[in-house]
């Protein structure tokens, strides 16, 4: 079997379009466009690229983008004061503090300061708790994007065996909660899991969020399974000494066994920003007491 490619880039473009198409009605009802504030601390080149592309995508969707750049030496109190000011700003519906933060800053304390109604990254414990108990929450963008791709491909996920490899707060754990809500039978694997290949072989759905290049091999994949590769790893390219991007799944061998698979790049990656815009639109509606548009 050669797997069908799950085109996250195309799905993300469609989602961004749907979000953009819903902005004028929000504007009409509330008198303003939804607003997303992104806080960048320091000069990390990868973070700068992410923040720039988030700002561009926000404007392209017709929303307002607010960027706050702070020096790497900023104190925790000063960063928290910026977040508090954004909490109080009515033009701001979503607040995203780009991670990682410099070592003098306690990430948890900063995230805890974000108003949960504006927590478009879904990292605040209030949103994590609401997701766990099945209440309306803002859900972390990457796992929600993975779920959208899975539902688009498979329809109902009810009763399927799902294995999530990775238990981070930003990907693995919320992914497992989302799959459980869809009535999957969920196994969460991690670095202490015994006989990981055997655990993965039982899965109808495999979500790999490990951060280890091409770790999941094709002979771990149950024939016909659907594979979602969250990994983004830069590795040296054999030919020219440059680097290339690979996922956590050995794409070539896994594509022989799976029925559908996300490529890297062009799979999960583009979904993250698209879902961020979606979450901002949803947060904006909830903050002014409007129902978010259906179908997002
Ligand atoms: P973390 O490093 O926070 O978590 C990695 C998880 O993988 C941990 O739970 C760890 O287990 C587990 N793990 C590590 N080694 C093994 C192993 N040998 N066998 C089984 N499990 C293992 O990473 P993130 O969740 O933040 O990210 C995971 C990947 O997803 C990365 O490649 C990252 O770049 C990518 N990513 C992509 C995004 C996107 O937009 N597409 C967004 C976010 C992340 P333990 O808990 O026991 O240590």
131-180 pLDDT, tens digit per residue, is 999 999 999 999 999 999 999 999 999 999 999 999 999 999 999 999 99
**Closest approach atom of ligand 1 to CA 190:** 21
> Per-residue pLDDT for 225 more than 90?
yes
> What is the rounded CA–CA span in Å between residue 108 and residue 116?
13
2-53 pLDDT, tens digit per residue, is 999 999 999 999 999 999 999 999 999 999 999 999 999 999 999 999 999 9
Residues 272-287: what's their mean pLDDT?
Answer: 98
Q: If you measure from the C-alpha of residue 7 to the centroid of ligand 1, how many angstroms do you get, rounded to a whole number?
A: 22
pLDDT, residue 1, reads: 72
Q: If you measure from the C-alpha of residue 58 to the centroid of ligand 1, how many angstroms do you get, rounded to a whole number?
A: 27
> Per-residue pLDDT for 238 more than 90?
no
Residue with CA at minimum distance from ligand 1 atom 17? 191
pLDDT, residue 220, reads: 98
Residue with CA at minimum distance from ligand 1 atom 1? 168
pLDDT, residue 40, reads: 98
Helix axes 141-154, 8-30, angle to 10 degrees: 110
Residue with CA at minimum distance from ligand 1 atom 8? 166
Q: If you measure from the C-alpha of residue 125 to the centroid of ligand 1, how many angstroms do you get, rounded to a whole number?
A: 20
Q: CB-based burial of residue 241 (10 Å sphere; 0-12 exposed, 13-18 middle, 19+ buried)?
A: exposed
Instruction: Report the pocket of ligand 1 as residue ranges, CB < 6 Å.
Output: 142, 165-168, 170-172, 189-193, 196, 209-212, 230-233, 248, 268-269, 272
pLDDT, residue 117, reads: 98
Mind listing the domains of the chain with CATH numbers?
30-116 (3.40.50.10860), 141-270 (3.40.50.720)
66-94 pLDDT, tens digit per residue, is 999 999 999 999 999 999 999 999 999 99
**What dihedral angle (degrees, nearest 10) is formed by the CA atoms of 55, 12, 188, 135?**
80
Which residues form the catalytic set?
54, 98, 121
Give pTM, 2 decimals: 0.98
250-276 pLDDT, tens digit per residue, is 999 999 999 999 999 999 999 999 999
* 3-class DSSP string for the chain: CCCEECCHHHHHHHHHHHHHHHHHHHHHHHCCCCEEEEEEECCCHHHHHHHHHHHHHHHHCCCEEEEEEECCCCCHHHHHHHHHHHHHCCCCCEEEECCCCCCCCCHHHHHHHCCHHHCCCCCCHHHHHHHHHCCCCCCCHHHHHHHHHHHHHHCCCCCCEEEEECCCCCCHHHHHHHHHHCCCEEEEECCCCCCHHHHHHCCCEEEECCCCCCCECHHHCCCCCEEEECCCEEEECCCCCCEEEECCECHHHHHHHCCEECCCCCCCHHHHHHHHHHHHHHHHHHHCCCCCCCCC
- Two tokens at 47? 């973070």
Q: If you measure from the C-alpha of residue 167 to the centroid of ligand 1, how many angstroms do you get, rounded to a whole number?
A: 7
């Amino acid at each position: 079997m050669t797997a069908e490619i799950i085109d996250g880039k195309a799905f993300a473009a469609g989602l961004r379009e749907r979000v953009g198409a819903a902005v004028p009605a929000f504007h009409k009802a509330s008198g303003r466009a939804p607003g997303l504030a992104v806080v960048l601390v320091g000069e990390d080149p990868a973070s700068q690229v992410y923040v720039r592309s988030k700002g561009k995508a926000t404007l392209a969707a017709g929303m307002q983008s607010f960027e706050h750049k702070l020096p790497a030496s900023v104190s925790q109190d000063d960063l928290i004061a910026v977040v508090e000011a954004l909490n109080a700003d009515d033009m701001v519906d979503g607040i995203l503090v780009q991670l990682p933060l410099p070592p003098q800053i306690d990430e948890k304390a900063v995230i805890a300061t974000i108003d949960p109604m504006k927590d478009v990254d879904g990292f605040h414990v209030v949103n994590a708790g609401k997701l766990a108990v099945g209440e309306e929450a803002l859900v972390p963008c990457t796992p929600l994007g993975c779920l959208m791709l899975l539902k688009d491909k498979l329809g109902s996920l009810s009763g399927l065996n799902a294995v999530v490899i990775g238990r981070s707060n930003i990907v693995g754990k919320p992914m497992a909660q989302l799959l459980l809500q869809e009535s999957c039978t969920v196994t969460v694997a991690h670095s202490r899991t015994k006989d990981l290949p055997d655990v993965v072989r039982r899965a109808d759905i495999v979500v790999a969020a490990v951060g280890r290049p091409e770790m999941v091999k094709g002979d771990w994949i149950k024939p016909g399974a659907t594979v979602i590769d969250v990994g983004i790893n830069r590795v040296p390219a054999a030919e020219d000494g440059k680097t290339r991007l690979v996922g956590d799944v050995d794409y070539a061998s896994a594509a022989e066994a799976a029925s559908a698979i996300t490529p890297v790049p062009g799979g999960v990656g583009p979904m993250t920003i698209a879902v961020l815009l979606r979450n901002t639109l949803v947060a904006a509606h909830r903050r002014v007491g409007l129902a978010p548009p259906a179908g997002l």
